[in-house]
Amino acid sequence: MKIISFVSNLLFIRLKIEDLEDKKFDIVVLTDDRYVAPENPNWYTQNILTEDGLVIEALKNKGFRVSRKSWSDPNFDWSSTKAVLFRTTWDYFDRYEEWKSWLKKVSQLTEMINPYSLIQWNMDKHYLADLQEKGINIPETHYVEVGVVTNLTALFAQKEWTECILKPCISGAARHTYRIDLSNIHEYEPIFQKLIREEAMMLQPFQKNVVKKGEISLMVMGGQFTHAVLKIAKAGDFRVQDDFGGTVHEYQPTSEEVAFAERAVAACDPQPYYARVDIIRDNNDELAVIEMEMIEPELWFRLNPKAAEVLAESLAISHD
């Protein structure tokens, strides 16, 4: 019986090795349905195609067999690739329940880059509190969990705030992000009450330097800083996203800013292959992480194509 069991185990191991060798792709680069094969792409979509192309080229130059698919492609066999690399899956927060189910299913079929556990952690902005516990400065943040009974007036009085930003803990592209002050607080109370019945929300005192100095995004590949941009909101707005008229500018960060971003990434467990660290000077004029994106961040490879090569090299080393 022991001999039969031993032979069965050897056969199982051999089959698993053959399965691995039979994988059609090494890495599938993930996008969403809109960007798979768009006709007459505008400048925004063309940037996506350009940057995904830079990543694919860098991966192929390292010997990886690469394809590009929508994460929600119903006809693709996700077990046919050794790994998936999240790039421009920018509709996930509008399809969140579907996305969560897909993540769970596919994580059992292939490796995820970044890792599944890191994606789960990074999807919810409670991760900022975890970073703070590890010594990474963040703006003052108050979380309001689903079902908590409270109101904006009480919170403003408790925190001694005159102005704040309200946003969901799970969001993107400034969804349900509002600038609230004592002059408009009553206008936002109904939407605040509706939101906290449905999802966890967070409030932060308004950070004046977001408007005065902008928001710095530092790209870190394989733990190594590669490049940075400065995002500036349009006049009269506070949102730096291009969806709302924000502009992006090449930026040379200080050594302090680079060290801070790399230290923030080093605080993550497991370590990401890539991350975008969005930082500001907070109201105390200290460097602070306002966001850390490790799921599908825009990484501006078009401004520094060598960063795609750094990412591909880190993947090649870890998957050698």
> What pLDDT digit, counting tens, does each position of 51-66 carry?
999 999 999 999 999 9
- CA 67 from centre of chain: 21
With bands split at pLDDT 50, 70 and 90, how would you rate the model's confidence at 92? Answer: confident
Give me the residues paired with residue 31 across strands: 70, 88
At 200, list the tokens.
Answer: 């966890």
**Do residues 29 and 61 lie in contact, with contact meaning Cβ atoms separated by under 8 Å?**
no
Write out pLDDT tens, residues 94-129: 898 999 999 999 999 999 999 999 999 999 999 999
Q: What is the pLDDT of the chain when averaged over all its residues?
A: 89
* pLDDT, tens only, 166-221: 999 987 666 789 999 999 999 999 999 999 999 999 999 999 988 888 899 999 99
Residue 20 has pLDDT above 60, yes or no: no
- The pLDDT score that the predictor gives to residue 75 is 95
Could you tell me which of 157, 118, 161, 122 has the C-alpha nearest to residue 141?
161
Going across the sheet that includes 25-31, the strands are 66-70, 25-31, 81-88, 111-113
**What pLDDT shows up at residue 173?**
60
pLDDT at 304 over 70: yes
Per-residue confidence (pLDDT) for residue 174, from 0 to 100: 64
**299-302: Cβ within 8 A, 24+ apart:** 299/51, 299/219, 299/274, 300/51, 300/217, 300/219, 300/227, 300/229, 300/248, 301/50, 301/51, 301/54, 301/55, 302/47, 302/50, 302/51, 302/54
pLDDT band at 21 (very low <50, low <70, confident <90, very high): low
Q: Are 5 and 42 in contact (CB under 8 A)?
A: no
A 10 A CB-CB count for 132 gives 17
Least confident of 8-17, 161-170, 181-190: 8-17
